[in-house]
Amino acid sequence: MRWRAEAAALQLFWWIMGLLSPERASATGDWLLRRLGPRSGKMRRIKANLAMAFPEKDNAEIDRIARGVLGNLGAVTAEFAHMKTLVSAGNANPYIETVFLNEDPDFINQRRPFIFVSAHLGNWELTAYAAIASGITASAIYTPLSNPWIDRLIRDKRALMGVGTISRSNVLRPLLKTLKQGRSVGILTDVRVDDTKLLPFFGTGAGLSRMPAWLSMKTGIDIVPAYCERTGHARFRVTFYPSLPSPPEGIPEDEAIEMLSMEIVRVLETRIREHPDQWMCTNRRWPKQVMRDRGVY
């Protein structure tokens, strides 16, 4: 009953937001969560993550950035109500600007698949759409939500983008099959992975996935970072960066995977530093005891 009530509330919110223009809906979602969000438990987790990432910032600055994180999350939630409009504007899309910094001829001409790595930045849902709109066939990994009713609503919205999806559970075989078929895959790399060897993330060990690097070393397929940044209300820029350099030949595979994973994290940190208020960090990113020892929890 609670799950159904939550889904009904979300549908009602989307219906109200649908009465507004995409820009007004985005601004309204931003305004609402900036004001209501600080009263929720999410604010505590956001501030803890930001304090881990930016220990040089004082409490006032962390609080300001955290409110921006909430505002961006509110805008993303409201923008779902206009997903069809956002992804149906054609080549001259006024909502989404796509920038290609990757000059690899194979990438430009889409002659082979790639492994795209991204993060929960801006409206991250639109990163995969930008690839599809540019003629790239791709599937993205997604984590099913605990509320199956809301999960179904979100999946229906994602279906409007024409992006294939692969559930995170038992993901390895579908990923390899997708790449073998010549389709690219997209992986969000800022998701916490438990029971794994830690990688340094903003200088502190965090449970981040080595899957993109492992896939690249096993298949020989290049990794392309792709990130979305918010440039305004219902306005976005998706940038496809140059492929990550391959590790030196002749080194052990485990070492190569580690080097490539470190490079993925370096690029991830750079993008987050550019727009920390657009990073959806509502869930814990570092081991709980480490965060407690730092005094952020």
Residue 20, token pair as written in the block: 């507004």
pLDDT at 133: 87
Q: How far apart are CA 135 and CA 103, in angstroms?
A: 16
Average pLDDT over residues 58-76: 97
Q: How far apart are CA 179 and CA 165, in angstroms?
A: 13
- End-to-end Cα, the chain, rounded Å: 32
Q: Using the predicted structure, report yes or no on whether residue 97 has a pLDDT greater than 90.
A: yes
**247-267 per-position pLDDT tens digit:** 998 899 999 999 999 999 999
Q: Which of 1-15, 81-95, 104-118, 123-137 has the lowest mean pLDDT?
A: 81-95
Calculate the average pLDDT of the chain: 93
Total domains in the fold of the chain: 1
Let me know: does 76 contact 110? Beta carbons within 8 Å. Answer: no
Instruction: Considering only the C-alpha atoms of the chain, give the largest distance between any 2 of them, rounded to a whole number of Å.
Output: 59
Rounded to the nearest 5°, which phi and psi values hold at 205?
-60, 130
Rounded to the nearest 5°, which phi and psi values hold at 96?
-125, 115
Residue 114, token pair as written in the block: 């790639």
Share of the chain above pLDDT 90, in %: 77
The burial of 272, by beta-carbon neighbours within 10 Å (0-12 exposed, 13-18 middle, 19 or more buried), is given as buried
**188-215 per-position pLDDT tens digit:** 999 999 888 999 999 999 999 999 999 9
Its domain, for residue 19, covers 2-294
**Where do we find the tokens 């389709």?**
183
- Predicted TM-score (pTM) of this structure: 0.93
Share of the chain above pLDDT 70, in %: 99
Cα–Cα nearest to 103, from 216, 224, 260 = 224
